Structure 1
Amino acid sequence: MLLILPLTIIALLISDASATPTPQSQGISINLRRRVHSRSVDDWGVWAKNHREGLMAKYGGRTGASKRSSGTNLYVPPSINLTKIVLILFLAPSQLERPPVSYDVILDTGSSDLWVAGNTCTSGCSSVPTFDSSASSSFADKGTAFNIVYGHGEAGGTLASETVQMAGFSVSNQVFAVCDQVSSDLLTSPVSGLLGLAWQSIAASGATPFAQTLASGTSWDSPVMAFQLTRFLNQSKTQELQAGGSFTMGFVNTTLYTGDIDFIDMPATNSYWLLPITGLHTVIYYEYGLSLFKAITVQGNSVTVPSGPSSYAAIDTGTTLVAGPPDQIASIYAQIPDSQPGTGNLEGFYLYPCATSVTVTFSFGGKTWAVSPADFQSREVSPGTCLGAFFTLTTSEGTPAWILGDTFLKNVYSVFRFNPPSVGFAQLSDYSLSMNGNVELEAPSATIGSVSVFATAGSVHANSNSAVSLRMPSLLFTIVMTIWAGLAI
């Protein structure tokens, strides 16, 4: 049963920064791949607990940390009788240095920093490719400490600048971190780091993110990036690497969606990719009673969502499930007969009869988008009883109340637009849907293309989060690391 999608790409740092910027505009599409590993079902409750507590850490919950991490995709083949769950990590080819060498990094719309493990790394990097700064003439060490914490661990090192290339786009003077301390099993080969795709205001480094630089200049035909994610359910023939969908920069791929893209402007200062969960217009709703425009429905019944910041949702490719305020999550499960709150490791989650087909819809002031019953059903935890993919989360002031991860995103073509700042969704095309469960599709391999478009990164600005270590309690950290080791990216 597929639950999430952490996406990865490979960014390429090259040493020749002397090329003259060109006015050429274009868009690039990157095919994604997914990697599969298994673990025992006994770990499921601990995984669920850690996923919830890790998300609290990422979005400023009770642990006080505010940075994000990758998530995990889970899949249950029918041939193993629910005795194993399989982690699926989406990977996309990308590229750092001269001669070019490929590096896998997690692609994450819920964070804003780029970092890779360096060849001087002394912990957590022994099994992954590392970056050698001595091989590049354009590398510049800034001598500033960098620390960041994610739900599954933390990374620390030093800020530097370099020319970063991905899929033909090149950004000079890009600030990134070379890490020499990484939590055990935060990185598992071939993943060497992380590329955040959110806004500069939440970057721990204070640097302008790679994608934001490209979107703000003339490198892209259109200031957008988009995701299409595949789904693999009950497929016993799934390979270790499978086609995972696509990531596009600078344009939208019209073969992957149908109809119009419904864009909604972001309601707050650029930070996370935020949308308000709300009906189209309350006047229309109250005057005409149009159920189509209810903010959230479960089995066709409306769930009340407060207006303003309490309705804000982060659209996050790096999160597995869907998290929301306790009262609203309780209202969702109240519409599902015989559902009940979980206990122990499943505290904050809910259980319900597996035979019940649950459909949840979201509106963001425009069209309504459904989460399929297959995505809502996370896992059978006992005969006839399943775990729901929606769980409770209490975030701190100034962070979004809802986190919509891949449980939602697998059901739409998602577009992140830098100007005007907005997020759009469209219905997946028949071509996109045909990729779901298609084990015959080969996973793409990493390739190093030529650079055709150049840009220069903005300067680092003062940031209160810069070079600050956000640490989780020891017990939580130990649990997260144990489960992540079992999942193995």
Structure 2
Amino acid sequence: MRHAPQLSRTHTSGSAMLLPLLYILFLMSPWSWGTPLSLPATPPRFALHLPLYKREAAPSVRRRAPKQDAIGLGDDIDITYNVLIQVGETLTPLVLDTGSSDLWVLSSSCSTDCFSVTVPLYPQTSFQPSGLAVRLAYGDSQTGTYAQGPVGKDVAGVASLRLQDQYIAAILETNTSVLQSGSAGIFGLGFPVNSVIWNKLLVTKSAREAVIEDRSHPSFGTRIFPDLSRIRGRRTLVTRGTSGGSSSPSVGEALASFATNGPLLPRLILTGALASPIFAISLQRDTVDIGGNQGMLSIGELPAGIAAENLTWVPLRGYTVAEGGLPAPEDSPNEVYPITWEVAIDDVYFDGRKLPRSALATSNITLTALLDTGNSLIRGPRDVLDAIIAQLGGNTYKCAEAHTLAFQIGGNLYPVDPRDFGSQTFENTVSQCTPNLAVTDPPGSGFLYSWSIGDPFLKSVFAAFYYGNLTHPSQDQPRIGLLSTVPSDAAQRLQAAVQLANATLSGNFPVISEAAPSGSPPSSGTGVAGVPQAHSAPPSQISHSSGATSKLTSPIGVISLLTAISTTLAL
């Protein structure tokens, strides 16, 4: 579906890792960008491109004249991407995560190994406790990653946008790897109904911990399905849960609570602080061939020079009550609400051949994928990944080979850049690489997506996430806009990177980490359809870089970090 959203004012009616990835370069030009649509001339009230930060305090939502501010994202060797977030008086980098909805930060009172000399922790001096606590679990059935601590309110914001009384979790105990990846918590950009904090506040007497189980995978995006069964529909309770009492709010009360108890970005939308209910992301590349898209988060509108009509817009999956979704309100009985950033996939291709559909999911479940910045891999059905490995000829391949994994979405093919296809298998040789693929749970009870396509895919596209109307989605449909940014010479660039690694880095690809900046980094120009490009950095220039911008990480250090993240501290 190619329908560009009207990027004007917000509608408010009604109130990881170590497994490498498999990827691409489906050199299929020209790309189809969708039907051009004209955008309204209404000037935006506020939009920003993050993580801009200004130190002046804000008593409530800060509204400013129309403006554009820009700043880059932090990148920890392409494993996690973060942005500076203000929590109370603390400015600290948090993982940028479209796969979850909660904002949490490590407290300085953390009882586990939370000491950090580089990442500021949250002192809780201005924390207003709610008397509730949460245990946030991440992932699927294969690992067990959690973060737990009290829920309370404080000032929170991104850049110059701030909100008073934002509910957050001050984490006291965790086995996550956020500190190892240069972050102090997670900034969830999902929908309110997928927020554990929102659910906890809404239904304070429910046995929520029975649903938020200790299960997870090497990603920051959660696969734990929210329990919406206690929310009363138009006349009766949803049958999946326990009924009665003060712990059974109506759907009207649930929708009204989005503006007070919801995640930060939905609250900013519902308070009218943003020009449009949208954020957009481009991710930089800090491994193999440093550069690519400039890492940036934009909130409230698309970046300057990128037109909405150049993106292909596809609707999100809505979850019916029978599928565990939110019931419709009395004033709009046909509403069906999204739960996460999940879109339909037409087909998946590897090296030009269409892959078979998974036999692990029933045929009546639409093939969909979660777009998840908190996932450093491409995660999919076991039988389809086995087919890819078989077509590849084994679990490894020559690093100079430009394999092509592509997702057909909205009628267009979106390849993963071959430079993000995989990771070298061991130190001091780029002759062999391993695809960056991992198995995830098949759809069934709970989330219905078959694929979680993470950072390798998202480094190859410009992605816009449009919330639409949060309380009445039928009036302004939530959707995702995509624009492929893979250059036509990506295969040649991969081969040049292999040659350079052999010639200058003793057979190792360059690997750097960049701290989330507090200013706007310069762009090296623009790429496909005006997407800003990051500066490339040859290994000879990177090796002595230090400080706040970037540092070269030794291959041994990288291997140790990846092993730790993928085995014991994975999200």
Question: How far does residue 351 in structure 1 lie from its aligned partner after superposition?
Answer: 3.0
Match of 1:140 among 128, 135, 151: 128
Tell me the SS of whatever aligns to 2:279: strand
Q: 1:453 — aligned with what? A: none
Q: 2:378 — aligned with what? A: 322
Q: 2:503 — aligned with what? A: none
* Pair 1:312 & 2:382 matched: no
Question: How far does residue 415 in structure 1 lie from its aligned partner after superposition?
Answer: 0.8
Q: 2:111 — aligned with what? A: 122
CA contact (8 A) 1:325 1:401 kept: yes
Equivalent position amino acid for 1:314 in 2: L
Q: 1:422 — aligned with what? A: 479
Q: 1:271 — aligned with what? A: 339
Q: 1:229 — aligned with what? A: 283
Cα 1:298–1:436 shift into 2, 3 Å:
farther
Query: Within 1, Cα distance between the matches of 2:562 and 2:174?
Result: 14
Q: Where do residues 385-400 of structure 1 align in structure 2 (5 Å cutoff)? A: 385-395=432-442, 397=444, 398-399=446-447, 400=449
Q: 2:162 — aligned with what? A: 170
Cα 1:486–1:328 shift into 2, 3 Å:
closer
Q: 2:354 — aligned with what? A: 302
Question: How far does residue 383 in structure 1 lie from its aligned partner after superposition?
Answer: 8.0
Deviations 1:299-345 (A, max 9, x none): 22222337653511000001111111122223334443xx13xxxxx
Tell me the SS of whatever aligns to 2:262: coil
Question: How far does residue 144 in structure 1 lie from its aligned partner after superposition?
Answer: 0.2
Question: How far does residue 228 in structure 1 lie from its aligned partner after superposition?
Answer: 1.1
CA contact (8 A) 2:85 2:91 kept: yes
Q: Where do residues 313-392 of structure 1 align in structure 2 (5 Å cutoff)? A: 313-336=369-392, 339-340=393-394, 350-354=395-399, 356-380=401-425, 384-392=431-439
Query: Within 1, Cα distance between the matches of 2:293 and 2:352?
Result: 34
Query: Within 1, Cα distance between the matches of 2:179 and 2:310?
Result: 38
Question: How far does residue 297 in structure 1 lie from its aligned partner after superposition?
Answer: 1.9
Match of 2:183 among 163, 167, 191: 191
Give the TM-score normalised by the residue count of structure 1. 0.64
Give the TM-score normalised by the residue count of structure 2. 0.56
Query: Within 2, Cα distance between the matches of 1:28 and 1:308?
Result: 45
- Percent of aligned pairs with the same amino acid: 24
The unaligned stretches of length 5 or more in structure 2 are 1-17, 22-49, 199-260, 320-337, 469-476, 486-525, 550-560
Equivalent position amino acid for 2:373 in 1: T
Deviations 1:354-392 (A, max 9, x none): 454211221112321111222223333588543112333
Deviations 1:365-424 (A, max 9, x none): 232111122222333358854311233322452222100001111111011110121111
Query: Within 2, Cα distance between the matches of 1:27 and 1:216?
Result: 21
Deviations 1:43-98 (A, max 9, x none): xxxxxxxxxxxxxxxxxxxxxxxxxxxxxx2xxxxxxxxxxxxxx5434333223x
Q: 2:31 — aligned with what? A: none
Query: Within 2, Cα distance between the matches of 1:313 and 1:243?
Result: 22
Cα 1:257–1:116 shift into 2, 3 Å:
same
Question: How far does residue 443 in structure 1 lie from its aligned partner after superposition?
Answer: 10
* Pair 1:29 & 2:70 matched: yes
CA contact (8 A) 2:75 2:286 kept: no
The more displaced of 312-321 and 152-161 is 152-161
Query: Within 1, Cα distance between the matches of 2:378 and 2:19?
Result: 13
Q: 2:534 — aligned with what? A: 435
Q: 1:211 — aligned with what? A: 265
Question: How far does residue 480 in structure 1 lie from its aligned partner after superposition?
Answer: 9.4
Equivalent position amino acid for 2:274 in 1: W
Equivalent position amino acid for 2:455 in 1: D
Q: 2:193 — aligned with what? A: 201
Larger strand share, 1 or 2: 1
Q: Highest CA radius of gyration, 1 or 2?
A: 2
Question: How far does residue 103 in structure 1 lie from its aligned partner after superposition?
Answer: 1.3
Question: How far does residue 23 in structure 1 lie from its aligned partner after superposition?
Answer: 8.2
Question: How far does residue 296 in structure 1 lie from its aligned partner after superposition?
Answer: 1.9
Q: 1:96 — aligned with what? A: 87
- Equivalenced residue count is 367
The more displaced of 323-332 and 350-359 is 350-359
